């Protein structure tokens, strides 16, 4: 810099360090998504021929070289392949500990340097996406609904849709991680919900139809609506359809007769007083003595139903029932 004038000192400094020579390093991609266990290819393209360089990661220097003579650190010695002419690097069999920023600094012939950064995302594939609800048949203005979207994979991102439109959070709806909470359900919340899970490698989705009932409906009406909804969204199992039809078409007792679950009420001659007493005695029995063994414990919807509707409701909510 002896020939530089004081007023041009900064210009001389830039020229001497190569910062104004137009040498650049372009990465093929700034974010690299690779499945765990596979190889990561850090591809870079220098604008001029290079004489050497180095790769840095989390304060370490996994590899550096001059010409065709590399110096590779011990922990990377069996894991890297280097292309001397471009500075591109292959890292074999990546794992989660390899995630982060990799910075390459290349030296062009003549001493000019330039750098680029590539971020590695070593991931497990998205798989087994499942969408479940704490309450498949909520009642408007009374119940809440918590939808949970579970999935295999790492670094997962979730998108929630209602009727194929993105769901916006508000005073009633909160989205947090893998859950969507509707504090108080309205009839307008009924419809198809979808959860899309992705992570840069691949994506998957699951959906479910939420039915919202008016608090004035009986279980018979609910059963009819459930049948219609299931048929509309893709069919219903024959066993479940038969069960619901049987419950809904069960013969009703004639006025003044006593209910007997094992016999047709026709031909019975018990008095209306006996019927009332029998009903009261039946209601006072424990659930397992009433023959109702599948109603969810503490289910407020079940407890609010009429007696003749409870068996329908309990059978619809039987554990393991496929609809």
DSSP 8-class letter at 213: B
Could you tell me if 84 and 35 are in contact, meaning their C-beta atoms sit under 8 angstroms apart? no
Q: What is the phi/psi pair of residue 155, to 5°?
A: 50, 50
pLDDT computed for residue 277 by the predictor: 40
pLDDT computed for residue 136 by the predictor: 84
Burial of 107 (0-12, 13-18, 19+ CB in 10 A): buried
Mean pLDDT by 10 residues, the chain (323 residues): 37 35 93 97 97 97 96 95 96 97 96 96 97 93 96 96 94 94 95 96 96 75 59 46 40 41 37 36 43 47 51 50 43
Could you tell me if 43 and 27 are in contact, meaning their C-beta atoms sit under 8 angstroms apart? yes
Q: Which residue has tokens 């006072």?
A: 284
Lookup: tokens for 91: 């890292």
CA distance 261 to 258: 10
Q: Of 142, 147, 131, 136, which is closest to residue 222 (Cα–Cα)?
A: 136
Could you tell me if 120 and 100 are in contact, meaning their C-beta atoms sit under 8 angstroms apart? yes
* Domains of the chain: residue spans and CATH: 13-123 (2.60.40.10), 127-210 (2.60.40.10), 219-316 (no CATH)
Lookup: tokens for 262: 């094992």
Could you tell me if 137 and 226 are in contact, meaning their C-beta atoms sit under 8 angstroms apart? yes
pLDDT computed for residue 215 by the predictor: 82
Give buried/exposed letters for 231-240 (b at 16+ CB in 10 A, else e).
Answer: eeeeebeeeb
Could you tell me if 317 and 226 are in contact, meaning their C-beta atoms sit under 8 angstroms apart? no
CA distance 291 to 125: 47
Name residue 192's beta-bridge partners.
209
| Cα dist from 268 to 253, 280, 282, 291, whole Å | 9, 19, 18, 21
Q: Of 84, 65, 62, 57, which is closest to residue 73 (Cα–Cα)?
A: 62
Could you tell me if 285 and 307 are in contact, meaning their C-beta atoms sit under 8 angstroms apart? no
pLDDT computed for residue 146 by the predictor: 97
The H helix count followed by the E strand count for the chain is 6, 19
First to last CA, the chain: 84
pLDDT computed for residue 166 by the predictor: 96
- One-letter-per-residue 3-state SS of 284-302: HCCCCCCCCCCCCCCCHHH
């Amino acid at each position: 810099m002896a020939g530089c004038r004081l007023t041009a000192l900064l210009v001389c400094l830039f020229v001497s360090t190569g910062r104004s020579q137009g040498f650049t390093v372009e990465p093929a991609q700034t974010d690299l998504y690779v499945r765990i266990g596979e190889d990561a290819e850090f591809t870079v393209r220098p604008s001029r021929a290079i004489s050497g360089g180095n790769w840095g990661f989390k304060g370490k220097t996994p590899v550096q070289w001059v010409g065709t003579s590399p110096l590779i650190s011990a922990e990377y010695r069996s894991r890297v392949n280097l292309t001397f002419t471009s500075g591109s690097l292959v890292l074999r069999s990546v794992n989660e500990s390899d995630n982060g920023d990799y910075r390459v600094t290349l030296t062009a012939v003549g001493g000019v340097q330039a750098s680029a950064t590539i971020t590695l995302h070593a991931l497990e594939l998205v798989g087994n996406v499942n969408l479940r609800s704490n309450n498949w048949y909520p009642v408007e203005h009374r119940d809440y609904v918590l939808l949970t979207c579970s999935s295999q994979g790492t670094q997962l991102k979730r998108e929630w849709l209602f009727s194929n439109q993105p769901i916006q959070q508000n005073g009633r709806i909160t989205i947090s991680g893998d859950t969507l909470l509707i504090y108080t359900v309205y009839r307008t919340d009924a419809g198809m919900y979808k959860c899309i899970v992705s992570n840069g490698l691949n994506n998957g989705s699951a959906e479910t139809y939420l039915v919202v009932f008016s608090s004035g409906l009986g279980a018979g009406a609910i059963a009819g609506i459930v049948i219609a909804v299931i048929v509309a969204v893709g069919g219903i199992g024959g066993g479940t359809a038969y069960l619901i039809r049987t419950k809904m078409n069960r013969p009703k007792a004639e006025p003044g007769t006593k209910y007997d679950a094992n016999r047709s009420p026709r031909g019975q001659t018990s008095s209306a007083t006996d019927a009332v007493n029998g009903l009261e005695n039946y209601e006072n029995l424990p659930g397992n003595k009433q023959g109702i063994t599948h109603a969810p414990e503490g289910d407020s919807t079940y407890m609010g139903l009429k007696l003749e509707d409870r068996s329908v409701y309990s059978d619809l909510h039987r554990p393991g029932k496929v609809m």
